[in-house]
Amino acid sequence: MTVDLNTTSRLAELVDDKRELVSESGIKTRQDVRKLVNVGVGAILIGETLCASYSIEDKFRELFEPER
């Protein structure tokens, strides 16, 4: 299976209310999160990346905490 974040971007062009979009796969970095936020998705589902990290809390912060 191939995971491509650009699929969400392509699908976003077909949706009137992008807040209804949920991106569900392949989110591994803060850059991935930023890309999806810029597309306008309403939610992202992160599973494997958090579960594979040593510290779920640290990884969550890395992905979502505002930069200082």
| pLDDT score recorded for residue 68 | 74
| pLDDT score recorded for residue 18 | 86
C-alpha span between 8 and 31 (Å, rounded): 15
Taking 70 as the pLDDT cut, the residues of the chain under it are none
Query: Is 16 part of any domain?
Result: no
Query: Is 37 part of any domain?
Result: yes
Helix (H) or strand (E) holding 44: strand 43-44
Query: Is 7 part of any domain?
Result: no
| pLDDT score recorded for residue 25 | 85
Query: Is 47 part of any domain?
Result: yes
Query: Is 46 part of any domain?
Result: yes
| pLDDT score recorded for residue 3 | 85
| pLDDT score recorded for residue 37 | 93
**Residue 36 structure tokens:** 């999806």
Residue span of the structural domain in which 66 resides:
28-68
| Residue 26 near residue 32 (C-beta atoms within 8 A) | yes
Nearest to 5 by CA among 35, 45, 29: 35
| pLDDT score recorded for residue 45 | 93
| pLDDT score recorded for residue 66 | 83
Query: Is 17 part of any domain?
Result: no
Query: Is 9 part of any domain?
Result: no
How many domains does the chain divide into?
Answer: 1
